[in-house]
Amino acid sequence: MAQILNPLAAHIRTVKHRLITIGATLLVALMVSFTFSGEMVAWLNRPFPNQLVFYGPTEALFASIKVSFLAAILASMPVIFYQCWKFIEPALLPKEQRWGFPLFALAGGLFVLGLVFCNLVILPLVIEFFVSFGMDHDVTPLLSVGTYIDFNVKFLLIFGCAFELPLVLTILARVGVVTGATLAKYRKHAIVVALIFSAIVTPDATLFTMLLMAVPLLVLYEIGILGARVFGRGGPTEISLPLDPDLPIGPAGHRAR
């Protein structure tokens, strides 16, 4: 019993240590990025022609914290990915470990690419559309900083996560869960799912924002199909025992070094 509890306690201590490291990194990054929160709010305010206002004593503060926290996540991504990688590394075989760093780097790059695409392409279109619509109806745009930043941060996070779709589909195809042919077969279903997902996650449920979200999702889905066809195994994965005599099978059929 003690032999079981000791590895479990060591495992819990390792998880606790890595979570503390991630939390401390995020806290330091948040404090540093908060000093530049004014510049970041001004950067997000580019598509809106007027000055932002605030209606409550704490609204401007919480808006600065939100945008600073997003910047802190981006700045801490190398540490977060490294800690996650070191956590799962002991469970992988040496051949699998060689793929760990490239996959984490690719995931981080895709997330940042989604943020950049959203900030430079999607958000200007969305904000210009809604502001122009209001001004065409003789309504003066006066946006609060809290609502505006919340709108921007939600869009950025959604697109950052959405850009991970090709990588997820490619990995699933690589391990044999799906194939490129299966993904192509269910393309019509993917269109429906993308529209429903866009209606749920976008800050407003207008058709314009739904399409701005759904169309990139479908493009990413097509890229995922391509990745599945190129890197996938082409069929379901069969469970087989290792042929290397130096690689024994552990208890309950788990792999052991």
CA dist 113 and 106 (Å) reads 10
Confidence of residue 234 (pLDDT cuts 50, 70, 90): low
Which of 163, 181, 208 is the last residue before a domain boundary?
A: 163
Average pLDDT of the chain?
A: 81
pLDDT at 193 over 80: yes
pLDDT at 235 over 50: no
pTM of the model: 0.76
Which of 163, 183, 218 is the last residue before a domain boundary?
A: 163
**Spatial contact of 149 and 41, defined as CB atoms under 8 Å apart:** yes
Q: What is the dihedral of CA 11, 13, 15, 16, to 10 degrees?
A: 160
What average pLDDT score do residues 219-241 get? 72
Confidence of residue 55 (pLDDT cuts 50, 70, 90): confident
Which two three-digit tokens encode residue 123?
Answer: 């958000």
Q: 156 and 186 share a domain?
A: no
What average pLDDT score do residues 184-194 get? 90
141 is a domain residue: yes
pLDDT at 144 over 90: no
pLDDT at 171 over 80: yes
**Spatial contact of 176 and 236, defined as CB atoms under 8 Å apart:** yes
- Domain containing 221 equals 165-236
**Coil, strand or helix at 131:** helix
Confidence of residue 24 (pLDDT cuts 50, 70, 90): very high
Q: 172 and 52 share a domain?
A: no
pLDDT at 241 over 60: no
242 is a domain residue: no
Q: 108 and 201 share a domain?
A: no
CA dist 99 and 253 (Å) reads 23
pLDDT at 20 over 90: yes
